[in-house]
Structure formats: C-alpha cells, structure tokens
Amino acid sequence: MKILIADDNIDFCTTICDIVEGFGYETVKFHHPSEAIAFIDQNHKQLDLLLLDVEFGPGTQLTGIDVLSHSKSRYPSLPVVMISGKGTIDTAVEATKLGALNFIEKAIVSRERIKKVLDSAVRKNENENDRKEIARLLEANGLVGASKTMEEIGDLIVRFGRTDLNVLITGETGTGKKLVANAVHSVSRRNRYPLITVDIPNIPRELFQSELFGHIRGAFSGANDTRKGLFHQANKSSIFLDEIGDMPADLQANLLIPVEEKKIRKVGSVESEEVDVRFISATDKDLVAAMQKGEFREQLYHRLRECGIHIPPLRERIEDIPKIAEFYVSEHNKQYGQQKFISPAAISFLTEQQWPGNVRELTSTLRVTLQTSLKDKIEVEDLGRLLQEANIASNISRKDGTSLPINAGNTLKEDIAQMDKLKIEKTLEDNRGNVSKSAAILGVSRETLHNKIRRYEIDVHSYRKRK
C-alpha cells in the first residue's frame, strides 16, 4: 500500500512518514501542494491513500483543501484523510463535503490515532474495490443493478463460485438464473472449460439417459455408434441443470450417483467412469413444496443445494430498473451506432410496472421499443403503445394493486391518453399540485404540462389543498 503525505512542516511530515512506514506501508512525501498534485496526476493508479495537511505556508496560494478538491474531482475512488493544526468545524465540514474520508488534528495526532485512521481507510478501500469488482463481474455476465440485493447476489456468486460446492439457483422465470449460473462458473477454477447446459424440459424422456450419460454401440435400436454424453463434455468443468424442477420424479434417481460419487455409466455398458463435474442447477419451482408432495427427491435436493442463490423478482427490486434500462440503451446504441435515450418520465413509468416476466420482459420491451421508434428520445407513450400491442398492458397494475383502466373497447390512442392522465395526476398528487416540480419529474416543459392539464381537465387546485 502506497500513501502520499503532503505537509509544509518538514519535521512533522518526516515523523508521520516514519510512523506510517513503521506499519509496513510505502510512503512518498511532498511539502508543496502543486508538487503533490503533479505527482497524483501522474501516479494516481499506484496510490492507495492521501494524507494532506489543510494549511500550507505563505509561499503558496494553494491549500490541502485544493489538493483534496482536485483529487476527488479527477480520481474519486482515491481515499483522502486531512490533517490540520487549526482544526475547525467549518474546515472539517468542507473537507467532508469534498469527499475526505477522515479529519484529524495535529494537536491530538499519535501513533495509535494514525494506525486507527489507516486501518479504517484500508478497510473502506478494500470494501470499495470489492464492490467495484463484483459490479464488473455482474455486468460482464449481463447482470445489472444498483440495489443492495444485486450486490449481495454478486457476493454470493464470488464466494460460492470459488468453491467446488454444488449451487442451486432459484427465482421466477426471467430473473436471470442462467446468467447467474454463467457468473458462478466464470469465477470458478473450472472456467478454462465451457459450462455445459442441460435443458431439462427439452430432452425427450426416452433419450434422457443417453443424452446425459452417453451410450455404447448397440445399446438400443438406432445406437449405431458409441457416443459420449453431456457428463463427459462437462468433465473438469461445470454442468448446468436448467429447470431441474421440471425433471420427472422417476428420472431423478439417475442423478444421485453422478452427483454424490462423480461416477457415470453409459447406457448399455457395465463399466463405470469417473468424471470431475461441479453441479449448478436452477429452477423457478418451489422444490421444498415439491418434496412435500413427493414430486422431488429429498436426497437429490440436498445434494444439489450445497449452496443456494435466490434471485428476487424485479418488482421487489425496482431500484434496479433505471440501471438495467441505462445499460440496455447503451448496448443498443453501441450496436446500432445510435444516440437514443429514455426520458425521466418513461423511466418512472417503467419502475411503476409489475413486470411478471421480470428482467426478460423488461429487456424485450426495451429492445422492441428502441428498434422500432423513429425518435431518439423514448417517451411514456412509446412504451405504453408497445405494452398495449403486446397485450401486456391489461395485466399491468398500479403499486396499490388496482388495475389501470385499459378497456378492450377503447382505441389505442384513448388508452395511452388515460395512462398519460393517470401519470400526471399521480405526480401532481405527490408534489401537492406544484406544476413546475411535476414537469421536471415528468421530463416535460412547464408549458407542455399545462397544455396536458387543460386537455385532460385536471383540477390542479384540488391537489394543493391536500395535506
């Protein structure tokens, strides 16, 4: 860990350097703010922490606060601790607002105090680096979100992925279970080999054993050659049992020995083979309930679920929706060389939907809208039109559980206008009839909102009277 120390008091600066180096850290020191800034600009990637004096001598117009401001504006992830001989509340507040991690006074500085500050900075820096690494991992695997839930899922992916334990991934259809499976495999020691996917529902029952275990020549009618199965392909890698909850109960017994003993036997053979396979499974079914009904083997469940990752539905993590939309629009623009974007009102509209199809439904809606809209700016009506045409709007609900008034007898224009009116009324209600604030939130001009209010005969004054 490399720490930059800047203080115009040469003796004090040297003492601090000696103390810091005594804890095993590397230091570099400067006595002038401009020299510190120049070094930071050229070496910020090698620095882990800045210790800056607030006040410098009369020979310079710059202060430690200037160095802090410069550093945080250009390298926001580089932690900074301020040291002052004239500590005041105002200075501490200013330093904190600019992003200082901590603030200590020279009058009370000590070896113990410095160690405490350094340890705290190191922990925070490590946590921040871990969060960034997890975010990069998730995004690299198509998993996007800003919620605490997604951060926790990322942490589980890393912790479980680096083991050889079997992982069961659960969640509703469209939440991204396959993406999580890919991410788990990508951080494992087995990532040199491809993840082998077994699409359980699409394997014909009569071919199930042959597909997974392979067969020898003559094992059954049509077996003209000896053939390896998916377990052979997954040797030294991971095998992904997608939709494991759809496997018929009588076929589940076939997996017990491969999962437990890592041994398989080709159909028609009497010899067993060892395979080095790690199992990752996924289902949208409640396997505990299935076990109670006798539909899923308890032995198999516990063997497959040595670790569990649950992905909540999108409606329970709506704070991820703007991030997902932003990511998807960015990917669209890169692919098609366009500059499209979604208005704040349209983003708000997206967050108010229930998305029964979860992320898959959201990204499908975005994909079609972006590729069919002739405008760069995607508005509420563009999304509403698509949802109506896809016969989804009739299933959309407000957050309070009541249905939007989509009427089969209405024209498309009438339904969109009704949704537009409801959106405006809800925004006015939330902002107590403040038209300017509501217009800013809806992403339209004040004049446009006034025109809509007149068109829909909305009584703005009624919202101003409510408490």
424 and 280 part of one domain: no
Last residue of some domain: 378, 404, 430? 404
76-124: pLDDT as tens digits = 878 898 888 765 567 777 787 888 888 877 877 788 888 888 888 777 7
Question: 139 in a domain, yes or no?
Answer: no
The more confidently predicted of residues 85 and 403 is 85
Contact 445, 420 (CB under 8 A): no
Question: 138 in a domain, yes or no?
Answer: no
CATH code of residue 271: 3.40.50.300
CATH code of residue 321: 1.10.8.60
Question: 463 in a domain, yes or no?
Answer: yes
Contact 383, 369 (CB under 8 A): yes
CATH code of residue 97: 3.40.50.2300
175 and 288 part of one domain: yes
Please state the domain count of the chain.
Answer: 4
Question: 137 in a domain, yes or no?
Answer: no
Mean pLDDT of the chain: 86
238 and 277 part of one domain: yes
Last residue of some domain: 385, 404, 423? 404
Q: Provide DSSP, 122-149.
A: HHHHHHHHHHHHHHHHHHHTT----SHH
Q: What is the pLDDT of residue 396?
A: 44
44 and 54 part of one domain: yes
Contact 307, 160 (CB under 8 A): yes
Query: Can you give the three-state secondary structure of 143-200, one letter per residue?
Result: CCCCCHHHHHHHHHHHHHHCCCCCEEEEECCCCCHHHHHHHHHHCCCCCCCCCEEEEH
Question: 306 in a domain, yes or no?
Answer: yes
Percent of the chain residues topping a pLDDT of 70: 90
Q: Provide DSSP, 47-100.
A: --EEEEES---TT-S--HHHHHHHHHHH-TTS-EEEEESS--HHHHHHHHHTT-
296 and 379 part of one domain: no
pLDDT at 165 over 60: yes
Question: 136 in a domain, yes or no?
Answer: no
CATH code of residue 425: 1.10.10
Question: 49 in a domain, yes or no?
Answer: yes
78 and 121 part of one domain: yes
DSSP state of 402: P
167 and 76 part of one domain: no
pLDDT bucket at 38, cuts 50 / 70 / 90: very high
324 and 420 part of one domain: no
119 and 160 part of one domain: no
The more confidently predicted of residues 24 and 59 is 24
Range of the domain at 96: 2-128
289 and 150 part of one domain: yes
Last residue of some domain: 389, 404, 419? 404
Contact 52, 79 (CB under 8 A): no
Q: What is the pLDDT of residue 387?
A: 66
pLDDT at 405 over 80: no
47 and 183 part of one domain: no
Question: 221 in a domain, yes or no?
Answer: yes
pLDDT at 166 over 90: yes
350 and 232 part of one domain: no
C-alpha 375/C-alpha 276 separation (Å) is: 53
235-268: pLDDT as tens digits = 999 999 999 999 999 899 999 999 999 999 998 8
pLDDT at 270 over 80: yes
